[in-house]
Each structure stands twice: as C-alpha cells, then as structure tokens.
Amino acid sequence: MNAASGKRVPRRAAVLAPAHGWRIVVLAGLLVLGALAIGARLGFLQQTQQRAFLKDEGDARTVRAVTIQASRGVIRDRRGELLAVSAPVVSFYVNPQTLDLDPEAWAALGQGLGVGAAALRTRIAEARDRGLGFLYLKRRVAPAEAQAVRALELRGIETEESYRRYYPAGEVSAHVVGLTNIDDQGIEGLELAFDEWLTGQPGQKRVLRDRRGHVIRDLEYVAMAEPGQDLELALDLRVQYLAHRELKAAITQYGARSGSVVVLDNQTGEILAMANQPAYNPNDLRGTGYARLRNRAVTDLFEPGSTVKPLTIAAALETGRFQADQKIDTRPGWVHLAGKTIKDPRDYGVLDLGGILAKSSQVGITRLAEDMSEEELRGVFARFGLGAPTGVSFPGEAAGRLPGPPPWPTINRLTFAFGYGLSVTTLQLAQAYTVFANGGAMATPSLLRVPEEQVPPLRPVLSPAIAQAVAGMLEGVVRSEGTAVRAAIPGYRVAGKTGTARKLVDGSYNDARHLAYFVGFAPASHPRVTAVVLINEPEEADAGGGLVAAPVFSRVVGGALRLLGVAPDLGTSPQLANDLAAGVKGAAG
C-alpha cells in the first residue's frame, strides 16, 4: 500500500522494477567493453600495418638483392702452367638523373678514377639529357685503385664486383687461348669455343646498405655462385715459347708478312705448339687490328706446293704401276704438256721416286701424274684429310678445298700433283704427314689434352709398306742430296719435305710473292712429333722452304725433342747428352 495515497501497489510491479534496471546496466557495460575491445583491436591493427609498411619502406631503401659474379674457369697447359685466369675487379656506376655532387667531390672522384672532373661531368650531363638511368663511370678497376674511390664515400657512386681475364703467357699463346670481351664472354679462340664450359653460374645475396648506399653487411645468400670449369690444353708452354720465338725471329729476318708453326704429337694427335705471326697481346688490345687476332694455322688457306708431292708418290705406288726404285727420265729438265711448259731448276737426269722427292722435281712428278687418273690422285689426297675439317673444333676452322669430281683438264691434273689447284691449312698439312710418321695411319688433332685411356684410334690411310717407303724417301730430302739439309737436327734422324709455292695474284701466279714451308717428323726411327713451318711472302725472291722454313723446323723440333726427353737415334754428342738430360729433368717437373 502506498502510504501517501493509501492505495495498494501490485506485487508483480514492485518485484520487476529493480531487476529491469540491473539488466540495463549490464548491457551498457558490455557495449562499452566491446567498443573498447574493437578500438584496441583497430589500434593494434593500425600499428601493426604501419610498422610493416614502415619496415617495407625502410627495406626498399636499405636492403638490396645483389648478383654475385662467378669466376671463369682457369685454362692451363698440359703441365699445369696458367694460360688464362680471372682476377676480381670493381666497376663504378651512377644514376645520372639523381647524382648530385659538390665541386670538391667531382674533383676527388675524377682524380680517383683517373679521369678529368670536367670530362666526367660532361659525360654524366649528356647521359642525363638522354634520359639514361644508368651509366658506368669506369669498368674493371683493380681492387687497390677501387679502394681509393670507395674511401671517398660519395653518395650515389655505386659499385659492381666482377672478374677480369688475365693471360700470363701474353702473345705467346694468344691465338690458341683467345680472349674475352669486357663482359667476360669468350670472343676468340678456345675462350669462345668452350665459353659455356668456362662460364660460371652467378649467385645472389641480400645486403643491407646505409644511407650513402654502401654495403653494411650481408643479410643472406639466396644462391651461391659456382665458378666455371677448368680447361686443360694439349699445349706444352715450353714448346710453344720455342715455336713463338723462332717463328718471330724468322719473320723479322726475312721481312715476311706472316707465318705459322704447328707441332703435333704423332701418336695422340695432341697439338704441343701452335704459333702465328704477327701476334697480339690479349692483356692490352690497344692498336690491335682484327687481322692479328685470327689463328692463321687453322683459318688461312694456301696452295701447298711441293709439300704434297709425297702424297702423289704414295698414290703412284698404290696403283701398282710404279715401284720405289723405278727410274723416271726427267731430261732435259723440262716438259711441254697441255700447252704449258713445266720446268725444274736444272736437268736432274734419270731419278728414282726417292730422287724425285729429294730434288723436288716438277718434271718427275709430272711424269707420274701423266700415268694416273684424277680419281687415283684425288682419292688419296682426300683420304689424307685434305679438303675436310680436322675436327679440332676451333672457331673459324677452314676446311680447305679439293677440285671437284673429274674430269679435269689435263693441265689441272698435272699441276694438282705438285701442289697447285687445291688449298689446305697448316694444321691439315701437319695431320696429313702423321700418316707417314705412323706407318700409314693418321692421328686426329686435338687442342685439349687427351688422357692416355681416351686417345682415339689412328685412322688407316695407306698400307704400312707404302707409308714406310715414302717415309724413307723423306729422310733423303734432309740428307746432303736433298733440298732440306738445313732441317737436320744433330743426333736425330729427320724426314720431311720443303715447299716453295708462288702465290696467285689477280688471276696469275706472281714470281715475286711466294710461300716457303717445311713439314716433317722426327726422330725418323720412332717418330714422336710432326711439325709444319710456313713463312708467308719472305722478301727475298729465292728464299724458299729449304732456306727459310727448314732451319726454323730444326730449332723448334730439336728443342722440343730435348724438352720431351726423346732419345737420339743418331748417336749422342756430349753437348746433346747434357741438353737431353736437362730436357728429361724439365719434363719430369
């Protein structure tokens, strides 16, 4: 009951009123707590996102992915001597659009790079005007020189670490080894032929840089760089030096335009030396014309002249219509056939086949060729590897050329027999003579060292009897009755052939321009090496193969046999015994 009004209050209303208020309070509290939780969560999320954003922004300015350049594989000779090796270098680059240096900084940078400050600013201004965002200031700087520039700590000057190729033997092995370009890619020689083998696999790492762009520390390696694979050549640098020296001296002495020397191991086909003149320094190409870069021993073709007369003799013996001791009448020292007159220097009279080679008689070879068909001649020459690549896998190797299928004009068959109307390389000629050195089987040339268990089998070309017969005739060429007495090597039996070929100029053969060469092998009893010496256009008109090329052969091959420790087969003088002992000691080292 209400005391004031005297009215009774219903019991239900009196009970519900307090309960309803409590619920409202609880509900309001929950709403407040929920709002606070949501606010806290939103604040947390906002803070987290901001932190991630700030971190990403910071990383974008300080963390970089850097390429780790891989070093190129090393090239060595057969005894482990370095022929090509990579050394670390540094390149400096900038963004021309953002670079801003004060005058003192420009001067210091120019001095550090060895470039005038004014010229440097001009280059960068020109790059900026062209809209370039990247410009190398200087590439492949030696680490010591680079450190001086890095010490300046100039903002915007970036660095790139890479490698530069160096060639310890310089021009001595340049034509074989070749060279790389500024990006360390092979562009000549074996550097080009085996570029994929020698090239390494770049890696990558993440680094932390300071505000000046300098690397503070490495964060992680994403992928490790893998260096290229090494290459072991067949070259013996000692023999290569010898060939280079003697060839260069001969070119200078006779005022010749160029020349080549190739030295082959008869059994394995390994190329122990391959030298050319003129040469070039792969460590400094300033002023070097393209003509100096090519490896003439495998790229240049020439008519072989008298050096292929032994092949004609072999073809004649193979027909069965001629014997080694058969007499051929060369009188009166000339013959007129097919409208042409073919002459010898003098009347040699009646000669056997060995005498024809020893005197290098054009008339005698012509008499043999008269009785042979084009197929008989060309077939033998082709079996000797002429007109086809040697398989040495050197960039730009020339295949040579043989005349097309018969019939040929008669004069073409006759001149072909003594070395005109076909073209060969110096290396092809060396390969061909391994047939006579190996008793009728030809070696496959290789610029890479061939493990003993992987030496390819020799290719049969001639019957052993014919090959040995011609080899015996080739010994006569070097004896007193022959044209190549200057090719003799004290203590060793030598077999070989001279050649002097006039050059084709403007469609006719020029008497004032010729090639002089000698090709042979030693020691003749058990031939170890075959070598070719080619001298292109000696100044003296009478400077033939016997006078110019034969002495180079003697000095190169004689020295090579001593270095390789090959025993003499003609007796030993005290001096020769000492030289041989020194060679054996060097070979063992």
Positions marked active-site: 306
Residues 6+ apart with CB under 8 A from 206: 63, 64, 65, 66, 218, 219, 220, 222
- Helical residues (DSSP H) of 91-133, grouped into ranges: 103-113, 117-129
Per the DSSP assignment, residues forming a β-bridge with 262 are 274, 532
- Residue 13 φ/ψ, nearest 5 degrees: -65, -35
E strand segments, 228-283: 231-232, 258-265, 271-277
Maximum separation of any 2 CA atoms in the chain, in Å: 174
CA distance 586 to 589: 5
CB 43 within 8 A of CB 200: no
Cα 101-105-107 angle, rounded to 5 deg? 120
Q: Helix, strand, coil proportions of the chain in percent (round to 5)?
A: 40, 25, 35
Encoded tokens for 347: 């009347």
Rounded Cα distance, 262 and 270, in Å: 11
DSSP string, 516-549: EEEEEEE-TTS--EEEEEEEE--SSTT--HHHHH
Question: In DSSP terms, which residues pair with 75 in a beta bridge?
Answer: 84, 231
For residue 427, what are the contacts with CB-CB under 8 A and spacing of at least 6?
A: 262, 271, 274, 297, 298, 390, 392, 397, 445, 532
Q: Which helix (H) or strand (E) holds 516?
A: strand 508-522
C-alpha dist (Å) from residue 540 to 302, 354, 516: 19, 29, 11
